[in-house]
Amino acid sequence: MIFTANGAQVYCEQTGSGKDVLLLHGWGCTTEHFRPIINDLQSDYRLTVIDFPGHGKSGRPPMPWGVGDYARCVEELLQQLHIEKCSIIAHSFGGRVTLHLAANHPQMVDKLVLTGCAGLKKPQTEEQKKRSAAFRKKKKLLQGLAKLPLVGSLADKAMEKLRRQYGSADYNALDAEMRQTFVKVISEDLSPLLPRIEASALLIWGEKDQDTPLWMGQKMEKDMKDAGLVVFEGDDHFAYLRQWSRFVKVVRAFL
């Protein structure tokens, strides 16, 4: 099914019957990353799963979006589906959107399952600070050169090379349009939202997660009003998928 929400075309699937559960995938992922979980849980819950705008079968955001814009999109979609309240299972970027929804629209959420949830800013190391400063210096120089008629095109090519040298893998995988959305999203620190969340939350983390390190899950457990942390030993950012059978068992017990 395709819906229009917050001005974007959104691909949505619904399956199963019972209490409503919404599944929100991570950045660069799609509904397919939840397929093992969907196949298991659909016997007991009505599952709603979407491709976020800019991902999978959905269209693009009509302009560069931040986390709040994605949350508004999900809110409008749930209203169109006549879902007044649901539990949410979210991975990584989907967790950012869930934190926003749970803090600002508590009446819409029941229980939360957050795995490898993003949204907290990582403190920069001294090396990273130096790297960022070097990027800003080179970027400023190239932006000046780009205004000159004889070297403008060469400066543009050099700027793209600079972005690829200093940008993350997620950033470099995007085109110029989606990069603006990505930068807006990752620039937001959602830690102030944590104490405002009333819903019970189950936090499932891979012990060796490098994308959203374990300290983030520990901080969420500490700052949220009703949260418990389960660590999947030796696993990474996709622990929910690599150990989907174990993940489902824990989620069933929680829900």
- pLDDT value of residue 155: 64
Edge-to-edge strand order for the sheet containing 8-15?
2-5, 8-15, 45-51, 19-24, 86-91, 109-115, 201-206, 227-232
Residue 148: Cβ within 10 Å count: 10
What type of residue sits at position 100?
Answer: H
**Partners of 220 in beta bridges:** none
- pLDDT value of residue 210: 93
Q: Count helices and strands (H / E) in the chain.
A: 10, 8
For the chain, 255 residues long, give each residue's pLDDT as a single digit of tens. Answer: 999 999 999 999 999 999 999 999 999 999 999 999 999 999 999 999 999 999 999 999 999 999 999 999 999 999 999 999 999 999 999 999 999 999 999 999 999 999 999 999 876 566 655 666 666 676 676 566 666 665 666 666 666 675 666 656 766 677 788 888 988 998 899 999 999 999 999 999 999 999 999 999 999 999 999 999 999 999 999 999 999 999 999 999 999
Q: Strands 109-115 and 45-51, how do they pair?
A: unpaired
- For residue 97, what are the contacts with CB-CB under 8 A and spacing of at least 6? 24, 52, 67, 70, 71, 74, 90
242, two tokens:
């690599």
